[in-house]
Amino acid sequence: MNLKYFETIRILDGGIGQELLAKGLISKGTLWSTSALIDDKYHKLLVDVHLSFINSGADVIVTNNFSSRRIRLLQNRVVEKFEYVNKIACELANKARDISKKEVLIAGSLPPQNGTYVVDERDINVIKNDFNDQAKIIKPYVDFFYLDVISSSKEIEAACEITEKMNMPILVGLHIKKNGKIASGETISEIVNKYRTSNWIGLIGACVSLEIIENSITEISKLNIPYGFKANLWNVEEPLPLHKFNTSKYNEIGKNPNDTMGIRSEITAEMFYEFAKKIKESGGTILGGCCNVNPLHIKALSSLK
């Protein structure tokens, strides 16, 4: 792909998992959106959700394998489906693009390989192995990798080493805290200065509040890299570590994090547009959403192109 792709305005998709749940997905255990991959009766629904974002103006859709990391599958006793769920997530994203007949890029999700919103304290070689195993499955199907809501420097180091060896472009999504740092304590600038490699094509605040993005944008704008956001609409400024409250097991109906963190239902598509417009005016070129950002929000962003 063109490594300067994000130097012009590009619209990313919104929150696939929450959109699936809103449209009728019943998740199992802590699998969440991966339930839509394991149970083929939901495959059409997933394609339709991808299409809803494409038809709303998204230039990029992200594969639905955020919760398909090995550790999550182990916890739910379905680890034998690791290769299948990651592969089918990519195939369904490609199917949606083919149906749309639009020039849409597919970003391969490489999520944190242990917990979400927290530091991965494991040995870095274990983390590298996990990133490598997931990345090599999805690589043939995607245009670039998206480091999807990464919270620690160790994960950044591991993922950058693996993706650089694979010669794949990466969009880096950092989960930023209220203090402007990631969970392991580094500033955004420190992460970029220490770990940026030649395959970085952009940097975004990933699954963070509108307020945190706005507070961080001045720092990000000085780093000489295309930048922007994939904002969440949780009703908390800092999302809770997901394992703290979701303890259901496979074969039980999973808990929706909205039940704990709530939804900012007051953020209309028009308000989301006004927020994105400010980021664009600051120089941001990568505009999109995460949890609870729906196709109407993305459609509003598409008018900024």
Give the sign of the dihedral formed by CA 22, CA 26, CA 30, CA 34.
negative
Going by C-alpha positions, the residue among 186, 185, 238, 180 that lies closest to residue 207 is 238
> Over pLDDT 90: what percentage of the chain?
87
Residues β-bridged to residue 288: 230
Is residue 114 pLDDT above 80, yes or no? yes
The whole-number pLDDT of residue 251 equals 58
The whole-number pLDDT of residue 240 equals 67
Contact 239, 203 (CB under 8 A): no
CATH number at residue 48: 3.20.20.330
User: What is the band of 260 on the pLDDT scale with cuts at 50, 70, 90?
Assistant: confident
Summarised one tens digit per residue, pLDDT across range 26-40 is 988 889 999 999 999
Q: How many CB atoms lie within 10 A of CB 26?
A: 12
Is residue 72 pLDDT above 50, yes or no? yes
Is residue 253 pLDDT above 70, yes or no? no
Q: Compute the average pLDDT of residues 184-197.
A: 97
Tokens of 109: 């999700």
- Map residue 256 onto helix, strand or coil: coil
pTM for the model stands at 0.95
User: What is the band of 245 on the pLDDT scale with cuts at 50, 70, 90?
Assistant: very low
Helices 269-281/295-302 angle, 10° precision: 40
Q: CA 1, CA 199: separation in Å to the nearest integer?
A: 11
- Map residue 227 onto helix, strand or coil: strand
- The tally of domains found in the chain comes to 1
User: What is the band of 139 on the pLDDT scale with cuts at 50, 70, 90?
Assistant: very high
User: What is the band of 124 on the pLDDT scale with cuts at 50, 70, 90?
Assistant: very high
Alpha-carbon radius of gyration of the chain: 17
User: What is the band of 249 on the pLDDT scale with cuts at 50, 70, 90?
Assistant: low
Q: What dihedral angle (degrees, nearest 10) is formed by the CA atoms of 99, 284, 148, 117?
A: -140
Q: Compute the average pLDDT of residues 121-145.
A: 98
Tokens of 25: 């997905």
User: What is the band of 254 on the pLDDT scale with cuts at 50, 70, 90?
Assistant: low
CA angle in degrees (0–180, nearest 5) for 114-195-192: 105
Summarised one tens digit per residue, pLDDT across range 87-107 is 999 999 999 999 999 999 999
**Is residue 265 classed exposed, middle or buried when 0-12, 13-18 and 19+ CB atoms within 10 A define those classes?**
exposed
Q: Compute the average pLDDT of residues 266-279.
A: 97
CA count, 13 A, side-chain hemisphere, 295: 14
Least confident range of 19-33, 51-65, 97-111, 227-241: 227-241
Q: Compute the average pLDDT of residues 72-101.
A: 96
Going by C-alpha positions, the residue among 26, 105, 32 that lies closest to residue 64 is 32
Is residue 247 pLDDT above 80, yes or no? no
Is residue 244 pLDDT above 50, yes or no? no
Summarised one tens digit per residue, pLDDT across range 37-57 is 999 999 999 999 999 999 999
Domain that holds residue 211: 5-302
Q: Compute the average pLDDT of residues 197-219.
A: 96
Is residue 116 pLDDT above 60, yes or no? yes
Measured CA to CA in angstroms, residue 130 lies from 57, 68, 174, 242, 260 at distances of 33, 11, 19, 19, 29
User: What is the band of 257 on the pLDDT scale with cuts at 50, 70, 90?
Assistant: confident
- Map residue 286 onto helix, strand or coil: strand
Strands 105-110 and 144-150: parallel
Q: CA 199, CA 287: separation in Å to the nearest integer?
A: 20
